[in-house]
Amino acid sequence: MNIKIDRVKLFSIFEYFILSLIIILSFFVRLYKINSPIADWHSWRQADTASVSRRYLNEGIDLLRPRYYDISSIQTGKFNPDGLRFVEFPVFNVIHLFFYSNFEPILSFDASGRMVSVVSSIFSLVLIYFILKRLSNRRVGLLGAFFYGSMPFNIYFNRTVLPEPLAVCFSLLGLYLFVEYILRDKTIFVLLSGISFSLAILTKPYTVFYGLPVIYLAYKKFGFIGLFRNKALLISLDIVLIPFFLWRGWMSKDQFFIGIPHAEWVFNGDGIRFKPSFWRWIFGERVGTMILGVWGVVPFVYGVSASIRYVKRYSMFFLYLIAGTAVYLSVVATANVKHDYYQILIVPPICMALSYGAYYLVKETKFVVDKILLIFCIFMMVGVGFYEVRGFYSINHPEIIEAGSALEKVADEDALVVAPYNGDTTFLYYTKRAGWPVVDTSFEKLIERGASYYVSVSKGDSDTVTLKSRYEILLEEENYIIIDLRKPL
């Protein structure tokens, strides 16, 4: 008996050693270029998020009126003089300021935002381990943690200044706590789960698809009638939904309408849903190549089918999670096709499928060659995945950072700036001034609305050439030009 107990203890020590090793390695690979400026892949979306944090830093936190630097009409169709930005509730931005205030000067402002995502992803990794261990076994849990930590697509996006990694963390925490509630029947877990899911949906409403396996677990445990008789469940549901609807009601007020970006396009704005191009982009390019690196499709497919065998008691749990993922991809069709960062939300279910598939291939196959092929598939998945995302880290246009820094030195803090960059707000972000990332009306109108400076990295375009002949050039270098719109010639 004592020998068996010693073996269990020894395996537990080894288990947590492996988990710790995965955590440490996953953390350090996410620190790659952590201090690089926000001018890499999807910099415009990162800059929008970071600008809300910076305005909080400079002007104080106002949770109910988040603001960013873009005051143009490009996002909402109307001039937005206060730079209102009503998208997600600014949970990420508050945590961003917390990191910056506690880790400056070790981390720059941009790096502090990246670190929010890094830390969130490490918590997500641990939560995946505990969810899989609780419902299956510790080996599946370790495999899930490994895949989440080592997937190149995930490594890159887990160190971006985006709310998605944080929303994933809240979702997985809510899911884990709900699993604990179902297995242990303690009310505290379902209430904490409700708080976690509430934060997830406030941070990113699309995380609602994680609710499908929750509904399955609750139905399986309590039955249809029992769902409506369980006060703890109903209170938890209120905790999830009431803050979200209060926030949506608040941001829908007439005075805030100009701060709500157009969102209709997200769902099926171009009619691409279920067309051949939809399947090609989502499952061929994004999931198949970018995330799974082609070769990962093998353990993924095995995992989806084998999950029923390894999920104890609630055997359909994982299939409902996968179904929720499919619903998300189908409903938010156009955005998932146009922007790959929308797939950050579906990485945990994919990693869980990989863990089940890898476990199945190791446990069930009798031939050594099958295990060697699995290792080869994993190696190739990581290799091809890295090849696909290696360019994401590149800063392709450092001149916008140089020009923005130059304008920051000569312009007043409250000056409004025209920084045209095809609507990309990254350039505007590095001026640290509110203004226009695109010329959306006549220059006479822009000046009337308060534009004081024009800064451009395209010295030969028609707008720049015209303004050079009409207004005083404040500064001109090889890569950029700054024109003072307050001083006509």
Average pLDDT along the chain, 489 residues, taken 10 residues at a time: 57 86 97 94 95 96 96 91 94 96 91 97 98 94 97 97 98 98 95 98 96 95 91 96 96 90 90 95 95 95 91 90 96 95 97 96 82 93 96 94 94 94 93 95 94 94 92 93 93
In a domain, 367, yes or no: no
In a domain, 386, yes or no: no
CA–CA gap between residue 185 and residue 190 (Å, rounded): 9
Tokens 């001083």 appear where?
487
In a domain, 436, yes or no: yes
Question: What pLDDT sits at residue 104?
Answer: 84
List alpha helices for 185-316, DSSP H: 187-203, 211-229, 231-251, 264-268, 276-279, 297-310
Q: Both ends of the chain: CA-CA distance in Å?
A: 94
In a domain, 46, yes or no: no
The b-or-e profile of 309-322 (16+ CB within 10 A means b, else e) is ebbeebeebbbbbb
Question: What pLDDT sits at residue 68?
Answer: 96
| CB contact at 8 A, 451 and 415 | no
Residues 91 and 211 in one domain: yes
Residues 433 and 336 in one domain: no
Question: What pLDDT sits at residue 133?
Answer: 95
Question: What pLDDT sits at residue 102?
Answer: 92
Residues 316 and 416 in one domain: no
Q: Determine the distance from the C-alpha atom of residue 391 to the mean position of all C-alpha atoms in its chain, rounded to a whole number.
A: 18
Residues 442 and 327 in one domain: no
- At CA 19, angle to CA 122 and CA 198, rounded to 5? 35
CA–CA gap between residue 31 and residue 12 (Å, rounded): 29
Q: Report residue 188: phi and psi, to 5°.
A: -55, -35
Residues 316 and 417 in one domain: no
Question: What pLDDT sits at residue 5?
Answer: 59
Question: What pLDDT sits at residue 6?
Answer: 54
Residues 97 and 164 in one domain: yes
In a domain, 468, yes or no: yes
Residue 101, both tokens: 């205030």
Range of the domain at 407: 399-488
In a domain, 49, yes or no: no
Residues 195 and 331 in one domain: yes
Residue 177, both tokens: 């706590």
pTM value is 0.95
| Pairing of the two strands 451-456 and 471-476 | unpaired
| CB contact at 8 A, 219 and 227 | yes
Sequence-ordered list of residues with C-beta below 8 angstroms from that of 304, at least 6 positions apart, any chain: 318, 319, 322, 353, 356, 357
Residues 323 and 444 in one domain: no
Residues 220 and 340 in one domain: yes
Residues 26 and 111 in one domain: yes
Give the CA distances from residue 259 to residues 254, 275, 372, in Å, rounded to whole numbers and listed in that order. 10, 33, 54
CA–CA gap between residue 223 and residue 219 (Å, rounded): 5
Residues 334 and 457 in one domain: no
In a domain, 223, yes or no: yes
Which of the listed residues 346, 377, 408 is the one where a domain comes to its end? 346
In a domain, 75, yes or no: no
Question: What pLDDT sits at residue 480?
Answer: 95
Question: What pLDDT sits at residue 123?
Answer: 98
Residues 407 and 334 in one domain: no
Determine how many CB atoms are found less than 10 A away from the CB of residue 339. Answer: 13
Question: What pLDDT sits at residue 1?
Answer: 53
What's the domain count of the chain? 2
Run of H or E including 18:
helix 2-29
